[in-house]
Chains A and B, each alone.
Chain A
Amino acid sequence: MEQFFQFMVHGFDQFFRYTAFPNFTIGHVVMLIVGLLFIYLAIAKEYEPLLLVPIGFGILIGNIPFLQGANLQIGIYEPGSVMGYLYFGVLKGIYPPLIFLGIGAMTDFSALLSNPKLMLLGAAAQLGIFGAYMIALFLGFLPEQAAAIGIIGGADGPTAIFLSSKLAPELVGAIAISAYSYMALVPVIQPPIMRLLTTDKERVIRMKPPRSVSKTEKILFPIVGLILTTLIVPSAMPLLGMLFFGNMLKESGVTKRLADTAKGSLIDIVTILIGLTVGASTQATTFLTSQSVGIFILGAGSFVIATTGGILFVKFMNLFLKDGNKINPLIGNAGVSAVPDSARVSQIIGLEYDKTNHLLMHAMAPNVAGVIGSAVAAGILLSFFMG
C-alpha cells in the first residue's frame, strides 16, 4: 500500500513538473500579455488583423512554458517539433517569396504606370532602411545585424523576414514583430511627420487624374520590371521574381485560376504559417533580450526616417516640376511600402485639408513602388553581406 502511495506521489510530482506552472517565468507572463495585446489590437482596433491575430496567437503558443531539456519536441526551437518544421519556412526564407507571389497577383500597378515618375518616391522612402542601418551600426550592432534591422524601415514584413533569416537568423523574431507592429501603427506614426514637413499650400495641391493604362502596358510591366531590377540586383530574385510572376498571372488575363489561387488560398495559407511561426518564435527564453528592445526602438526610428525621406523628396521634385504637374507631398509617405495603409493615410490627411482632393489613387503609385524598392534594397544588402 505504501509502495503504491509513493508511486502515486512520484507520478503526481512527475506530472506537475511537466505542467506549465513550475516552468513559468516573468518573461513568459510578459510575452503572454504582449500576445493578448496583439490580439486585442487586431480585433478591437482592427490594426492589420490578418497579421496580428496569427502573430498574437503564435506568441501565446510559443510562450506556454514547458519542461526544457526533456526532449518533448514541442518548442519551436526543439529539433523534430512540428512548430520547428513549420518555422523552417521562415528560417530558410521560403514563405516570403510565396507571399510576394500573392502580393503580385493582387497588386494593380495601373496607378504607377499612369504616372511613372512617382516610382522615384518608392526609392526615396528607402532612406529609412539605410538610415536605420547607420544608426544600428553606430549603436554597436554587427553590420549584418544592422542591415537586417534596417530593413524594418522598408515596412515590408516578408522582405524583413527574408533578409533577417539570411543575415541575422537570431533576430528574425524580433525584427518580424517590430516590422509588423510598426506597419500596423502607420496611421499613428506618419500623420504628425506629414503635418510637420508640409505647408498648408502644399497640402492642397491637386494632381492630374491618372490616365487609363492599356493592357499591353500592364503585361509589359512585370516582364520589363523583372528583367531590369534583377539584372541590377540578382540577389533580390526570390522576392522580385515571385512578385512580378504573380503580377503576370493577374495581368495576362489567361491564367485567372492561377492568379486567384496565388492571391487567395495560397497567400492565406502562407500568411497563417508565417504569422503563427513568427509569433511562436518569440519564446521568452530566447526572445526577451535587451537586443529585442533595441530593435524595437530602431524600428520606430526607421519608419520616421522613411516617411521623412519620401515627403522631402516630393518637395525636392516639385522644385523642378511646372505648375499643374506638381505632386502633393502628402503622398510622399506612401513610399513606405505598407500597402495600402500608408496610401490610406495620405488620403485621410489630404481630405482633412481639402474635402474634394482625393489622393488615394496617386498615393498607391509610390506605395507599390515602395514594395519594389524595399525588395531591391534587401537584394543589395544581401549581396553585400552574403558575398
Chain B
Amino acid sequence: MFLGLIQQIAKDTSSVTIHKNSDLFLKIDPWGIGMTVIGYVVVFLALLFLYLIFANVTKVLNINVKRLLMREGKSVTVVEDLSVSGEVNAAIAMAIHLYYSEIHDKEDAVLTINKVSRVYSPWSSKIYGIKQFQR
C-alpha cells in the first residue's frame, strides 16, 4: 500500500521539464542498473587515478631530495621514508612553541634559601581565604 502511494506520488509530473534523453533511458534502462554501474565505476575510476598519482607522488618528489643528499655525500639508504609522522611533527612544533614563548620549566625567578621577609597584610593572608576547609 505504501509503495503504491509513493508510486502514485511520483506519477504527478505536471510542470516538469522533460529532457530528450529521458524517454530513451526509460526504454533502454528502466531500472537504472546500467546508469548505476557506469556512474559508480566512473566515480571510482576518477578517484582511483587520483589515488594512484598521489600514492606515488611522494616517491617522485623524494627522488630529488635523495639525489641532493647523495651529491653531498650523505647516505640515503638509512632513511627509507623521508616523511615524518604527524605525531613527531606535533612534538617538534610544541617544543619550538615552548621555546619561543618561554613557557618552560625554568622560571625567571631568583631562587634562594635566604629568608625573605614580607610585611604582613590581611589581603594576602591565608587565614581569611575563601577556601578554608572545615576540620
Contact = CB atoms under 8 A, between A and B. Distances in A.
A216 interface: yes
Interface stretch (A25-33, A121-129, A267-275): A121-129
A139 interface: yes
A122 B40 CA distance: 11
A262 interface: no
B47 A120 contact: yes
A12 interface: no
A372 B61 contact: no
Contacts of B22: 142-144, 385
B36 A229 contact: no
A386 B17 CA distance: 11
Contacts of A97: none
A253 B39 CA distance: 36
A130 B44 contact: no
Contact of B44 (A120, A133, A142): A120
Given A130-B35, A232-B42, A384-B35, A291 B9 contact: yes
Interface residues of B, number: 50
A143 B26 contact: yes
A376 B12 contact: no
A363 B86 CA distance: 15
Q: Tell me what chain B mostly uses at the interface: helix, strand, loop, or mixed.
A: helix
18 contacts: A113-B54, A119-B48, A123-B40, A123-B44, A126-B43, A129-B39, A130-B39, A138-B31, A170-B15, A209-B87, A211-B86, A233-B42, A233-B46, A290-B9, A373-B43, A376-B47, A380-B38, A385-B19
Interface of B: 3, 6-13, 15-19, 21-22, 25-26, 30-33, 35-36, 38-40, 42-51, 53-55, 57-58, 61, 81, 83-87, 89
Interface of A: 112-114, 116-117, 119-120, 122-124, 126-127, 129-131, 133-134, 136-147, 167-170, 208-212, 214, 216-217, 220-221, 224-225, 228-229, 232-233, 289-291, 293-294, 297, 361, 369, 372-373, 376-377, 380-381, 384-387
